[in-house]
Structure 1
Amino acid sequence: MRVRPLDLAAHGDLRFDARKAGALRRIVPLGMAEIVYAAADMPICLAKDEQTGKFDLVGLMGLVEPVSLFAFPEGFQATYMPRAARLSGFRLDGQSVSGLAIDRDDPAFGESGEALFEGQRPAPWLSNIALELKNLIADIERARELAAAYADRAVLRPLRIRLERRGAGEHEVEGLYTFDQDALGALDDKAVLAMHRADQLAPAAVMSASLAQVERLRQLHNARFTPVIESFALQVR
């Protein structure tokens, strides 16, 4: 990863092609406001930060290969593109005149798309990117607070996705978490009411239902890669 502050000498000839953004992201973090939109296209799970032990909401965009199955040459083929995918090549940097740093290895940067500089100055549209990043970071933090509430209720369990590949045996996707429906059903009335008033039940239902989108990922995978995935199974431990 080559991340450095936006600079005319280093990035003056670069352009940003949003069609290629997020192409190498198999998993992306999601903000609180994105749950309903992302669920229309991809499974929404939780992932635990190994250093902090805290949970993040994430969208699963790939299964086997370390790429987004929604990324095609003509652009991102889904009804909703997570903000973390679209902004994956940018970082906030308070020392830069634009407030941004650039990951030069991100496929969105190259010879096509919008120019990063107009003359000697960063292009005006980059100021909107910095604002979007700040809003996304705040929204991801709200999602973390929601995930922490689920963890406190002890309703999260590890999720394993077992893929059966034609002639190549099994492949497992691990490191994800989802809801234990039995644990949710065992909550007492006081806990259920508290979660309802805190607007925690509806997101849990949406995320649980979104696991059906693994089938869509299977179809997208089989349209592009071999060996094909013949079947899959979701196991909540």
Structure 2
Amino acid sequence: MAEQLEILSAEAHRNLAMHRFAGQHPHMVQIVLPEVEAAASCCPVFLAKSPETGRFALVALFGFAPGEVLVEGADTGSAAFLPLDLQRQGFFTSDDNIAVDIAHPRFAQGASIALFDETGSPTIAMRAVQRAIGTLMGSAGQTEQFIAALVQGKLVEPVDISLSFDDGQTVRLDGLYSVSGEALSAIDDNEMIRLFRNGSLQAAFAIRASLRQVGILARRRNDRITQPSLQSWA
């Protein structure tokens, strides 16, 4: 369905309501630097190259294939980590304004969460959307700088992960990168202090440590092979 973007306003959208979320939770979501440590607490965090630009982005992995959600609570929107990009579903920026895509499934029939109250002020739910958009926009440059520092410091390495399951399937994770533990340990003291002070070191270690989440998700997938699961959070 084509986008139908409109500048959001209390007057024009007083009666517009939204679902908490819409559609199926994606198996991979792009995140920004302030989200890394929270994401790493429950799912693997990688760097992935954009097929269009060839540039790295930070991504959180919720499953191993499209349509698969393995992080506990993610399929109902109640996981320990909820990406900002999903919190702002259906909302975008247009210059200094927030725009709303009224054709987005989040605003489909049956939506009951108001965007504005009777006084025309944003509701609590709408303020959460505004904060999500603000953080995403405000962290874009910081995230790019972090990724550039990892690349320039030769801290990025490709990951080669192949998983086998009890149903005979083998899943390979291709095109993903992580932070090299060996390269991290070789950083000189001055660079270590610099990275620590700007918050990059903590995020780099969190990305590296999040690799252990791959095994956790793999065990969860194996446990669910013969158990149908609900994968909708509309």
* TM superposition score category, shorter chain reference: 0.7 to 0.9
Report the equivalent of 2:39: 38
Gaps of 5+ in 2: 229-234
Amino acid in structure 2 at the alignment position of 1:23: Q
CA RMSD in angstroms, aligned pairs only: 3.6
Cα distance, 1:107 vs structure 2: 5.8
Distance 1:79 1:22, change over 3 A: farther
Query: Any residues of structure 2 matched to 1:63-78 within 5 Å, and which?
Result: 63-70=64-71, 75-78=76-79
Amino acid in structure 2 at the alignment position of 1:152: Q
SS of the residue corresponding to residue 172 of structure 2 reads strand
Distance 1:129 1:89 in 2: 10
Distance 1:117 1:77, change over 3 A: closer
Cα distance, 1:178 vs structure 2: 0.2
Amino acid in structure 1 at the alignment position of 2:86: A
Instruction: Give yes or no for the alignment of 1:17 onto 2:16.
Output: no
SS of the residue corresponding to residue 67 of structure 2 reads coil
SS of the residue corresponding to residue 162 of structure 1 reads strand
Instruction: Give yes or no for the alignment of 1:92 onto 2:99.
Output: no
Report the equivalent of 2:122: 124
Cα distance, 1:223 vs structure 2: 5.3
Q: Which moved more, 1:66-75 or 1:25-34?
A: 66-75
Q: Percent identity?
A: 25
TM superposition score normalised by structure 1:
0.74
Does the 8 Å contact 1:39/1:206 carry over to 2?
yes
Amino acid in structure 1 at the alignment position of 2:193: L
* Per-residue Cα deviation, 1:192-211 (whole angstroms, up to 9, x for no partner): 33323433222111111112
Query: Any residues of structure 2 matched to 1:176-195 within 5 Å, and which?
Result: 176-195=176-195
Amino acid in structure 1 at the alignment position of 2:122: P
Instruction: Give yes or no for the alignment of 1:114 onto 2:98.
Output: no
Report the equivalent of 1:232: none
Amino acid in structure 2 at the alignment position of 1:87: R
Query: Any residues of structure 2 matched to 1:38-57 within 5 Å, and which?
Result: 38-57=39-58
Distance 1:224 1:60 in 2: 17
Report the equivalent of 2:63: 62
Amino acid in structure 2 at the alignment position of 1:215: G
Report the equivalent of 1:216: 216
Does the 8 Å contact 1:5/1:93 carry over to 2?
no
Cα distance, 1:154 vs structure 2: 0.8
SS of the residue corresponding to residue 3 of structure 1 reads coil
Gaps of 5+ in 1: 229-237
Does the 8 Å contact 1:29/1:57 carry over to 2?
yes
Q: How many residues are aligned here?
A: 223
Distance 1:55 1:73, change over 3 A: closer
Query: Any residues of structure 2 matched to 1:150-169 within 5 Å, and which?
Result: 150-169=150-169
Distance 2:61 2:184 in 1: 23
Instruction: Give yes or no for the alignment of 1:171 onto 2:171.
Output: yes
Report the equivalent of 1:136: 136
Distance 1:47 1:73 in 2: 21
Report the equivalent of 1:199: 199
SS of the residue corresponding to residue 50 of structure 1 reads coil
Distance 1:38 1:109, change over 3 A: farther
